[in-house]
Every structure is written in C-alpha cells, then in structure tokens.
Amino acid sequence: MKKVKIKNSTKEFTVGKIVCVGRNYAEHARELGNEVPKFPIIFLKPPSTLIYDGDNIFHPSYSNEMHHEVELVLLIGKSVKNASDEEAENAIIGYGVGLDMTLRDLQNEYRKEGNPWTLAKSFDTCAVISEFVLKEEYKITGKEEIELLKNGNIQQKSSIDKMIFPPAEIVKYISERMTLEPGDLIYTGTPQGVSKVEKGDVLKSRIEHIAEIENIIE
C-alpha cells in the first residue's frame, strides 16, 4: 500500500483512491481544443501508480507523447458522503503538489473512438506526489503560484485561484457520487502550458508555500 507523508510530522496516511479533475483551468481546456466544462470532469488513477519526490518517471514505450500536468493535490482526512459546503471544506486536511502524467496521443485516440481513456492516465509512475502540508499549518489563499519547470525553463505558471471549480466544490461534487475516505487524494487539474517530455528531462513542480518536487523522465 502506498503512503503519503506530512511535512514536519511523523504522521503518514495510507493512500486510498486517487481521484482527478480534468480541464479545471479555462486556458488549459482551450489549449487542448476543449470546451470549458460546466461540471468537474472526473477520472481515477490506481494508488499503485504513485511515486514521490526524487523518483524517476518511466516513459512507456507505447506512447510518443507523454505530457506533464502540475496540479494542486488535496488530502482527505475525514469520511464524507453528500457533503455540505462546510463538510467538504473540513474534509480537506492538507495540500500537496503533484504531477498527473498523461499519454496525450493515446488519450486523443481513445477519445476519438469514444472509448474510456483510462490507460492514457493510468500506468506505473503516472502520479507523482510531494509531502503534504496540513491545513492547520498553512491555509491556501488562492494567490499561491503553481508552476512547472522543464530542464530549468518555465512551462506552466498560474495561480490556484484560476481554477474553475475550487477545492471544496470539487470535494462536494465527488462526495455526491462516491464516499471520500481518509487517505484519498484529489488531483485538482492543471493550468495551461502542458508539453511533451523526453527521456532525460528534469521536471521541477512547485506550489508556493506548499511544496516542491523534482523528477527525471526515464
């Protein structure tokens, strides 16, 4: 079972579900030629695909277009179902920075055929996560910068408040469909600037006041 660590603490959480939101920044939806969604687009990643700061991201040989997506990740600390606004906010106990690695060529192919794009989003090492900062230590304001540097160059840069659906709204929406439990992670979508990675590329992902991680493509 995969675990996540808490910054400045010996506390650990065993990871349950990894729920992800697609197209949650308007400019990213547009850069892929998609409409801005009216409700959160949800997909899942298996917890076994999770890796950490410093681990290598494996580039599958069956894809020619793997993209980086830097994202704010929520750590769920309470069990919630059909959460009210307040319950949804209280269910989030920490924040981290993560990478949702995506096989864009496969995703486009599956989408065109009307098939599920699970395998474009689920493969070993496709989910990267930092340590989490507990909300009691730092509460996000929305002004935090989120960015990704590829080989030292800025590729993605935005701020958390550019999200179409903010964290509590996402938690509320998901909890109406499936119970969220302690240890579940929610990837909240990526800003514009996604790009193709090659073997040897170094990705630095960070969110101001939260965390920074570095991973190499293998």
Applying CB under 5 A, does 100 fall inside the site for Zn ion? Answer: yes
CA angle 33, 165, 38 (to 5 degrees): 55
Binding piece for Zn ion, criterion CB under 5 A, among 4-12, 88-96, 170-178, 189-197? 189-197
Check binding of 201 to Zn ion (CB under 5 A): no
Residue 184 interacts with Zn ion (CB under 5 A): yes or no: no
CB of 31 to Zn ion, least distance (A): 13
Stretch of residues binding Zn ion (CB under 5 A), selected from 30-38, 43-51, 61-69, 207-215: 61-69
19 touching Zn ion, by CB under 5 A: no
Binding of Zn ion at residue 190 (CB under 5 A)? yes
E strand intervals along 53-162 = 66-67, 70-76, 92-100, 102-103, 127-129, 133-134, 145-150, 153-159
CA distance 70 to 59: 17
Instruction: From residue 132, give the alpha-carbon distance in Å to each of 34, 42, 211.
Output: 31, 22, 8
Separation of alpha carbons 19 and 44, rounded Å: 5
Q: Which window, 2-10, 94-102, 122-130, 194-202, contacts Zn ion (CB under 5 A)?
A: 94-102
Q: Which residue number, 69 or 147, has a Cβ lying nearer to Zn ion?
A: 69
**205 near Zn ion, judged by CB under 5 A:** no
**Per CB under 5 A, does 122 bind Zn ion?**
no
Residues that bind Zn ion (CB under 5 A): 69, 100, 190
